[in-house]
Amino acid sequence: MLPVQLGTSDLFVSPIILGCMSYGVPDRGPHPWSLPEDQSQPYLQRALEAGITTFDTANVYSDGTSEEIVGRALAALARRDEVQIATKCFMELPSEPDVKGLSRSAIHTAIDSSLRRLGTDHVDLFQIHRWDTEVPIAETMEALHDVVQAGKARHIGASSMWAWQFAKAQEVARSNGWTPFVSMQDQYNLVQREEERDMLPMCLDQGVGVIPWSPLARGRLTRDWDDTATERSSSDLVTRRLYQDAEASNRAIVAAVSRVAEDRGVSRAQVALAWVRQQQAVTAPIVGATKPHHLDDAIDSVSLELTADELAALEEPYTPREPGF
């Protein structure tokens, strides 16, 4: 895999980013389907062997244990300068209930705790997990700038918010000479394309890299629409509130994915991931893996190029819907 530039920054990432919410102590936090350390390491090792060098986690994933597992595995399997580590702050950890939000104190405590759990002196990308309505954005951006100036993060990024909020944050940073965001991690897939209206064009215009989460729509694009019974879907609180509208459109999209996959002789996951990767604003999709074929499909999708006719067939059934954060 050849690395790709994250927007116009000097950070290069792998064309598939391994999402590490899947790895953590199952009884810590709200993800009982996460894989414990002994089961996680083979996925991290396989990813590295295939050329995936970028790993995305968050302090809240499995109450910090995702960071611990990822940090230990990468320290054992790779040199620090060979990998790019991304993490996030904002949400409340069960073990650290006082560290939440995007105040100055919360951000500085969060980065120090994340670095300790990851076992590194810096992360390559430090992201805000959501927008904080309780803290002035100037306080947040100045604190993030200080984190970069201290060498604890090479770059900063944002995730899922309204485009006007992202534009406001960037302007506050630039007008004060502070560090701007270099990336946007938002939800983007064949059944949730509302980011195409404002966020993605803005990122493309401003040189901001886009690293979408849930490029497979929590797996809904990899199987028939009515086939929803998975271990994760039964316990994932986020999944329960997503993809609840535009059902006729969603069914048609999933059927189109199935037809293209059958015609190409590849999996549905490869088709859905290839579509995301071929969108102009996208740098690299973030893919989770809890089964070997999840990782194999992600790796194989990098070499799959969809034709103009295939892209059109996949996109035609889409209808407007509520954005999903």
DSSP string, 71-121: HHHHHHHS-GGG-EEEEEE-SPBTTBTT--SSSHHHHHHHHHHHHHHHTSS
Question: How far, in Å, CA of 304 to CA of 311, rounded?
Answer: 12
Q: What is the pLDDT of residue 221?
A: 97
Q: What is the pLDDT of residue 244?
A: 82
Q: What is the pLDDT of residue 240?
A: 58
Which of the residues 23, 43, 61, 243 is marked catalytic? 61
Q: What is the pLDDT of residue 245?
A: 85
Q: What is the rounded average pLDDT for all residues in the chain?
A: 95
Chain center to CA of 116: 22
Q: Among candidates 157, 136, 225, which has minimal Cα distance to 13?
A: 157
- The predicted model scores a pTM of 0.95
Neighbouring residues of 107: CB distance < 8 A, sequence distance ≥ 6: 89, 140, 143, 144, 147
All structural domains of the chain, each given as residue ranges with its CATH number in brackets, are: 4-315 (3.20.20.100)
Would you say 190 and 318 are in contact if contact means Cβ atoms under 8 Å apart?
A: yes
Active site residue 23: no
Q: How would you list the strands of the sheet with 209-210, edge to edge? A: 209-210, 181-185, 153-159, 123-128, 84-89, 54-56, 17-19, 286-287
Q: Among candidates 30, 7, 26, 4, which has minimal Cα distance to 17?
A: 4
Q: What is the pLDDT of residue 183?
A: 98
Q: What is the pLDDT of residue 232?
A: 57
Flag residues of the chain having pLDDT under 70. Answer: 229-241
Q: 268-314, pLDDT tens digit by residue?
A: 999 999 999 999 999 999 999 999 999 999 999 999 999 999 999 99
Q: What is the pLDDT of residue 230?
A: 62
Radius of gyration of the chain (CA): 19
Q: What is the pLDDT of residue 235?
A: 54
